[in-house]
Amino acid sequence: MQKIATVSEMRQIARELRAKGGRIALVPTMGALHAGHAALIQEARKSADAVVVSIFVNPLQFGPSEDVASYPRTPEADLGVCTDAQVDVVFLPTVEEIYPRGYSSYVTEEAYSKPLCGVSRPSHFRGVTTILAKLMNIVRPDCLVMGQKDVQQAAVARKMIADLQFGVDVVLVPTVREADGLACGVRTRGLTASQRQEATVVQQALAKAKEMVDSGVRSTDRLIAEVTHIIGQRRRVRVIYVSIVDSVTMEAMREIVPGKSLLMIAVWVDEVRLVDNLVL
Ligand code: AMP
């Protein structure tokens, strides 16, 4: 496994991989790797000949009230995960390498990024699309492998890639969950045992919603009311949004179309922000 820190070296290695005729999959991450990331890497190995994992805590996707400095960083453990998963190249650039002094160019997607997390984190997706565009320019992958857990991020990435004609496929990997049903996540990991217990209400709400849809409920209002009610029973959990949207465009739907509608949930568990979703 090669460990690369500079853009020029990363470009050179990617060029060599392409010259061998291989397909390259890029797995963009912010590190603190867990089982969800490992599943992405596994899928990447199926979709391509060479796997590049980027580990970069992207300051641009953190809002003014969000602390980039306190985001967990576990580089040694991350390298272990990548070695075990037979990653070919790990790209770990510094902030200065990606955003040198005087940096002033950004990429924005202006439809799918607006609702849901776009409301409460207005600059977040601009940070995501900018870093993804840069990583795609550096690595020139054939596909990006992303997680269903952050499905709006993947939808925004797909739209930006299509609009800007990058010619890169987005492969979506189902959410990896822990034994209690919570999605594996960097933020979930930081919960105390009692916060974790409170947070499982999100999983209960998703399961109840799925049960209602399976029994024939199609009214999004009814489903949203039920999910909001379930979450509201936990004192330490506050709803940021509960919404039912089209899985491609992220637009709110009036009526549930099984297989096409997504239930999207974002909550605060005390001061920890969690998102989850389910295809209905
Ligand atoms: P992050 O490092 O949190 O920016 O996430 C990097 C990638 O891993 C994104 O595409 C996420 O959607 C994906 N990811 C994070 N958690 C999970 C999970 N529990 N299951 C599947 N994919 C995940």
Residue carrying structure tokens 């849809």: 213
In a domain, 20, yes or no: yes
| Residue 185 Cβ contacting ligand 1 at under 6 Å | yes
Task: Dump strand ranges (E) for 148-256.
Answer: 169-173, 237-246
| Range(s) of the domain holding residue 266 | 186-275
132, 147, 173 - which closes a domain: 173
CATH classification of the domain holding 61: 3.40.50.620
φ, ψ of residue 274 to 5 degrees: the values are: -125, 145
Does any domain span residue 178? Answer: no
Atom of ligand 1 nearest to the CA of 33: 2
Mutation pick for ligand 1 pocket among 149, 206, 275, 277 (CB with most ligand atoms within 8 Å)? 149
What is the 36 CA–ligand 1 centroid distance (Å)?
6
Full strand arrangement of the beta sheet holding 2-4: 2-4, 89-91, 50-55, 24-29, 143-147, 169-173
Asked if 279 and 259 touch (Cβ cutoff 8 Å), the reply is yes
- Residue 196 is assigned to a structural domain of this protein: yes
The catalytic residue among 34, 37, 124, 229 is: 37
**Is residue 212 within 8 Å of residue 221, measured between CB atoms?**
no
Same domain, 157 and 201: no
Q: How far is CA 67 from CA 89, 92, 214, 255, in A?
A: 28, 20, 41, 38
Would the CB of 175 count as within 6 Å of ligand 1? yes
What CATH number corresponds to the domain at position 256? 3.30.1300.10
Total count of domains within the chain: 2
Q: Residue 239: name the closest of 212, 200, 203, 265 by CA.
A: 265
Atom of ligand 1 nearest to the CA of 151: 12
- Is residue 167 located within the same domain as residue 190? no
Pocket test residue of 81, 131, 146 for ligand 1, highest count of atoms within 8 A of CB: 146
Do 240 and 262 belong to one domain? yes
Task: Give 150's Cβ-side CA count (13 Å radius).
Answer: 25
> Does any domain span residue 181?
no
List 241's β-bridge partners, or say none.
Answer: 266
Pick the closest to residue 213 from 176, 182, 244 (CA basis): 244
One pLDDT digit (tens) per residue for the chain, 280 residues: 999 999 999 999 999 999 999 999 999 999 999 999 999 999 999 999 999 999 999 999 999 999 999 999 999 999 999 999 999 999 999 999 999 999 999 999 999 999 999 999 999 999 999 999 999 999 999 999 999 999 999 999 999 999 999 999 999 999 999 999 999 999 998 899 999 999 999 999 999 999 999 999 999 999 999 999 999 999 999 999 999 999 999 999 999 999 999 999 999 999 999 999 999 9
Give the separation between CA 51 and CA 42, rounded to whole angstroms. Answer: 9
- Whether 37 sits among the annotated catalytic residues: the reply is yes
| Inside any domain, residue 29 | yes
Going by alpha carbons, the residue nearest to atom 10 of ligand 1 is 146
Model confidence pLDDT, tens digit, residues 157-167: 999 999 999 99
